[in-house]
Amino acid sequence: MQIDAHTSLYGVFGNPVSHSLSPVMQQSAFDAHGLNAVYLAFCIEDIALGVSAVRTLGIKGVSVTIPHKVSVMPFLDEIDDLARRIGAVNTIVNRDGRLVGYNTDCHGAVEALSEKTEIKGRTVAIIGAGGAARAVGFGVREAGGKVTIYNRTPEKGKRLADDLGVSFQPFSQIAKSADRIVINTTSLGMHPNIDASPLSDSHFDKGMAAMDIVYNPLKTRFLETAEKSGAVIVDGLSMFVHQGAVQFKLWTGKTPPFEQMKASVVKILNKTSTSL
């Protein structure tokens, strides 16, 4: 693509952001459609200034990541209903100067999970109670899953469970649960701590499903253990690409080239091994 005076600018705001694979994935989508656009990573300390920059520079769209998903909300002109109900924004769309916040994590999680397993009527254990757990929990509950939040810090877990209208159990009780779908939303098992897992080997059996939001490594210890026990597994890459595909559609109105987006991320993960 030739950069010129008409090139549109998109990006991801986070801190840290140097590990982000969104630039690779979104640029592959722009390129696949032959769009005159670039997507860059911006390490943003002050999100108010970041949003101001979107207005000043006319940035067309932004992915918002840790730690700004909640704090960005007051600085936008409008929050989509779903993002408001979840309480977090991971996408900004610049509509002729009007900045609108969306949440695509929720949709990404449900798409990724439902590709591999039925959600409706199943008992679902969500490990963790941070921003990711909030979006995943909301989506799974809406899809008809019977959710229990398991969290190390009881107050935080209970607050999320109350907000979602679902049950809460202390993290220590997870080993005794018989939930059929288990979702890790903590960073346990992420590079470089690849031996860590929120659940021991004895937890899983056939008929269960395990989903991880961690995608580096692609197959975490948690997923490896689950797979060995015969459980269905859903890796973090799937949710990442699905949430990114919805972002691309919101920004451009075009059909996301899902397979190209996925392949671009897999290529980087394979090339850099676990050093991200």
CB atoms under 10 Å from CB of 255, counted, come to 12
The correct pick among 52, 153, 173, 255 for binding ligand ATR (CB under 6 A) is: 153
Nearer to ligand ATR, 145 or 157 (CB): 157
> Is 72 a residue that touches ligand ATR (CB under 6 A)?
no
Residue with token string 């909300």: 73
For the bound state, the minimum distance from the C-beta of residue 274 to ligand ATR, rounded and expressed in Å, comes to 19
Phi and psi torsions of 92, nearest 5°: -115, 130
Q: Whole-number minimum distance, CB 78 to ligand ATR, in Å?
A: 23
Binds ligand ATR by CB under 6 A, chosen from 11, 50, 128, 236: 128
Is 249 an active-site residue?
no
Question: What does the alpha-carbon distance between residue 41 and residue 24 come to, in Å, rounded to a whole number?
Answer: 10
Question: Taking CB under 6 A as the rule, does residue 129 contact ligand ATR?
Answer: yes
Shortest CB 95 distance to ligand ATR, Å = 27
- Of 27, 103, 117, 186, which one interacts with ligand ATR (CB under 6 A)? 186
Catalytic: which of 60, 69, 219, 262? 69
* DSSP type of residue 238: H
If binding is defined by CB under 6 A, does position 132 make contact with ligand ATR? yes
Report if residue 156 touches ligand ATR, rule: CB under 6 A: yes
Instruction: Count how many Cα atoms sit within 13 Å of the Cα of residue 99 in the half-sphere of its side chain.
Output: 26
Question: How far apart are CB 3 and ligand ATR at their closest, in Å?
Answer: 33
**Which 22-51 positions form the footprint of ligand ATR (CB under 6 A)?**
none
For ligand ATR, the closer of residues 116 and 158 by Cβ is: 158
Angle, helix 131-142 to helix 154-164, in steps of 10 degrees: 30
148 touching ligand ATR, by CB under 6 A: no
Question: Closest separation between CB of residue 237 and ligand ATR, Å?
Answer: 16
CA dist., res. 118 & res. 144, Å (int) = 10
Beta bridge partners of residue 234, listed in sequence order: 211
CA distance linking residue 220 with residue 214, whole number of Å:
7
Q: E strands of the chain, at which residues?
A: 8-14, 37-43, 61-64, 78-79, 91-95, 98-102, 123-127, 146-151, 167-170, 181-184, 209-212, 232-234
Active site residues: 69
Which residues are near ligand ATR by CB under 6 A? 66, 128-133, 151-153, 156, 171, 185-188
